[in-house]
Amino acid sequence: MNRYKSYVPPPACTRPCDNCPFKRGTTRKVGRKKINEILTAESLVCLNTLDGHEKDWLQCAGHMIMFGFENKFYRFLRKCKWKINLRGQDEIFTSVEKCHDYHCEEAH
């Protein structure tokens, strides 16, 4: 018998948002400085949830998909055996370099 009455999902997005910086073809280009910060971060709060109260912030699915066990929050979830069903892997850049280059391109 399960002693827990309900499952509490982790505070994380389960798929990349439409304007996730890790999503191929995103219209939100964050620029060279910001993408360098994002790509070197150990984990990332979803940029869409940052406008709300801190208790409503969610971890970025795109960052967890791109970095897997390198993402600190993803490692925490796995270590605690907290299940998260990440979806949208096929929408994410295939490499950090491609993501970086896309955000550093000059607008035509």
- Amino acid 50: pLDDT: 81
Question: Model pTM?
Answer: 0.86
Domain spans, the chain: 31-104
The pLDDT averaged over each successive group of 10 residues in the chain (108 residues) is 65 93 92 95 91 84 96 95 92 96 78
Residue whose tokens read 């910060």: 37
- Amino acid 108: pLDDT: 43
